[in-house]
A and B are shown apart, each in its own frame.
Chain A
């Protein structure tokens, strides 16, 4: 692995979170759209989503969307201002802090559903 610094990991995470969001969106569209195959099919899928791995996945989707959004703002600031390039590292730590907060916040809300399993 190339020993790049913050910028490299910011780029890699941005790409991965983007792909993850795309995958989530496709899955989402499919599972909602599955109603055209009837209620039983739709419910079978959605009962699967109640399993705890999907609940935990939800936390990562939340963190991923928040990361992608705020890192996108970081990229816009970098593209349009010299200030953005000079402070890209600090901004990235800010983005990571916000993403972590989103993860913890989502965990706080979803935890009962993970433990309770409903």
Chain B
């Protein structure tokens, strides 16, 4: 898509790769100048195999230096670049152009919803991390540690295999219709994190976490809209995990 890309890859290959003509619609907002967010469209040339993040970087580097967004590792691990791309929450660095647009098509990019927009695509993540802190996201075991390790069976490890995949990108929480209207709901990400410790056989604070989940900001606010499960870039079956926590709270066991 960009000159830099053409130079980075070997010349004959990049010459043969067809370029897509894209219109990239970005919802922009500068708190110092604008009262309301507004759409701006940029014309960008990209390869089908480019990531949406490459396209946004191109806009920032060559077209609009003031465009503000988060990105760090650019490989789907740090969870910084969650955005609302073509109407769905995705990580910009894990979304290929060919999966969201054809040549001549439009890609829309908005900030994730339900959190305050600081500037352009950058939102205030503090409320999200407050919810994360609320479920005590750390290992609690007051019994004296054994000489070697705290042993888990494979089956026991499997119980928390999905929930320990979370990268806290907020794709799920900000896709939740309940979270949009009720910011006090802890949200899918916090519940997934709670699940990771509740179903950890080595952890001893299960009852406390189930208590937190049982509060009116907890797991019962989930109305099973499945947006979180569709949005998760780590393919965590979030709704299924939330339902497991609901049952654990109800049966008082984990």
Which residues does A use to contact B, with CB under 8 Å?
A: 1-8, 10-12, 14-15, 75, 78-80, 82, 85-86, 88
Contact = CB atoms under 8 A, between A and B. Distances in A.
Interface string B174-207: 0101000000000000000000000000000000
- The A interface is mostly helix, strand or loop, or mixed, namely helix
Contacts of A5: 226-227, 230
A33 to B, nearest CB: 33
A97 B224 CA distance: 20
- B: interface residue count bin: 20 to 34
Given A2-B175, A79-B243, A8 B225 contact: yes
Contacts of A2: 84, 87-88, 113, 175, 177, 227
Contacts of A10: 225
B239 to A, nearest CB: 6
Given A3-B86, A4-B225, 7 more contacts: A3-B87, A5-B230, A7-B229, A11-B223, A14-B223, A79-B224, A85-B240
Interface of B: 84, 86-88, 113, 175, 177, 223-227, 229-230, 237, 239-240, 243, 246-247
B87 A7 contact: no
Contacts, number: 59
Contact of B239 (A4, A15, A80, A85): A85
A2 B228 CA distance: 12
Contact of A7 (B113, B227, B247): B227
A78 B230 CA distance: 16
Nearest to A14: B223
Contact of B225 (A3, A11, A80, A82): A11
Nearest to B227: A4
Nearest to A6: B226
Contacts of B224: 7, 11, 75, 78-79, 88
A79 B87 contact: no
Contacts of A6: 226
List the 4 shortest-distance A-B pairs measured between CB atoms, nearest first.
A7-B226, A3-B87, A11-B225, A4-B227
Contacts of B225: 4, 7-8, 10-12
A92 B106 CA distance: 31
B80 to A, nearest CB: 21
Contact of B246 (A3, A11, A79, A82): A79
B172 to A, nearest CB: 12
Contacts of B226: 4-8, 88
Contacts of B84: 2
Contacts of B230: 4-5, 7
A15 B177 CA distance: 12
B177 A11 contact: yes
B134 to A, nearest CB: 23
A32 to B, nearest CB: 32
A5 B88 CA distance: 10
Given A8-B225, A11-B223, A78 B243 contact: yes
A50 B135 CA distance: 56
A77 B57 CA distance: 45
14 contacts: A2-B84, A2-B88, A2-B177, A4-B175, A4-B227, A5-B227, A7-B225, A7-B239, A11-B177, A11-B223, A12-B177, A79-B247, A85-B237, A86-B240
A43 B103 CA distance: 64
Contacts of B177: 2, 4, 8, 11-12
